[in-house]
Structure 1
C-alpha cells in the first residue's frame, strides 16, 4: 500500500491510499480518482515529504494529527460547507429525479419547493434553455458520498 498527497484542479488537498503506484496511475488515467471535497476528477499527486524512520533507539516525535477530510481548511471551503449545510437543511433531495421535478414545478404540475439533486449536463442545459432556474452546486450531496 502507498499513501499519496493529492490535489485537485480547484486546489483542494487530501490524502488517499492505493495498492501501488501503478494502481494510482491506472485509476487516475481512467478518471476514477476524485477529490474528497468537490468530487472533481482532475486530481494529481501533490508535493509530499517522505516518511523516514528515526531508528529503534530514538524517541518517536509526537504525531501531529492529520486534518480530517470533512473539515474545511480555508475561507472558500468554509463558505461551501455553510452553503451545503443550508441547502441540505432547507431543500428536498430528489436524487436523479431533479430534472423531472424542476420541470414539473416550472410548468405548474408540481408544487414549488426548494430541491437539489443530480442531473446530467444535457438535462441541466435543456432546463436552462427552457427558462427553468437551475444552478450547479459546488459539492456532491452528502447522500451521494460514502
Structure 2
C-alpha cells in the first residue's frame, strides 16, 4: 500500500492511498482522482519522506504536535473550533483546512438537507408556519437575495463533494 501526500492546484493538501504507483498514475490519468475539498482533478504528488517505525517513543516524550500548548486548531469543551484571535493570522494552511473541515462536519451532522426546497423551508420557519430547525440546501443567488431582503439570515456554505455522499 502506498500512502501519498497530494495537493490540488488550489493548494489543498490531502492524503491518497493506492495499491501501487501504477494505480496512482491510472487514477490520475482517468480523472478518477480529485481533491476532496474542491473537486479539482489537477492533482500533484508532493515529496514525502518514508515513515520508519523504529519502536515506541520513550515514556514522557510526547510529540510536539500533541502537546497541549502547541499552536493550531483545537476543539473546545463544547466541540467548537477554538482558535485564539491572536493566533488566527499565524495558522498554517493545513490548520485552516482542518478547521474548515471541522465546521463543515458539524454543520452536516446538525442540519437537515432540504435540497431545492431551501428557500421555501427557510420562509416557513421564519414566518412560524413550521418548527424552527437547522437546514441546509440549494438556493439560487436571486432566492438568496430575496431571503436576505425579507430579513431571513442565510449564508452560503460550499461543501466538499466528499461530504455530500456517504463514504464506504
TM-score scaled by length of structure 2: 0.49
Task: Note the 1:18-97 alignment, pairs <5 A.
Answer: 18-36=18-36, 38=37, 40-42=39-41, 43-49=43-49, 61-62=54-55, 74-92=94-112, 94=113, 97=114
* Aligned counterparts of 1:128 and 1:140: Cα–Cα separation in 2: 20
Deviation at 1:87, TM superposition (A): 1.6
8 Å contact from structure 2 (residues 39, 161) kept in 1? no
Unaligned runs of 5+ in 2: 58-62, 66-72, 75-91, 148-153
Change (3 A) 1:24 1:85: closer
* Aligned counterparts of 1:46 and 1:81: Cα–Cα separation in 2: 21
Task: Note the 1:123-142 alignment, pairs <5 A.
Answer: 127-130=140-143, 131=145, 133=154, 135-140=156-161, 142=163
Change (3 A) 1:79 1:51: closer
TM-score scaled by length of structure 1: 0.54
1:50-89 CA distance string (max 9 Å, x none): 579xxxxxxx723799x9xxx9984312431342244235
* Aligned counterparts of 1:90 and 1:14: Cα–Cα separation in 2: 25
How many pairs are equivalent?
A: 123
8 Å contact from structure 1 (residues 6, 16) kept in 2? yes
2:17 corresponds to 1:17 = yes
RMSD: 4.1
Unaligned runs of 5+ in 1: 53-59
1:84-125 CA distance string (max 9 Å, x none): 244235421x2xx512x21422565974643225x5xxxx5x
Change (3 A) 1:85 1:27: closer
8 Å contact from structure 2 (residues 118, 136) kept in 1? no
8 Å contact from structure 1 (residues 80, 138) kept in 2? no
* Aligned counterparts of 1:51 and 1:107: Cα–Cα separation in 2: 53
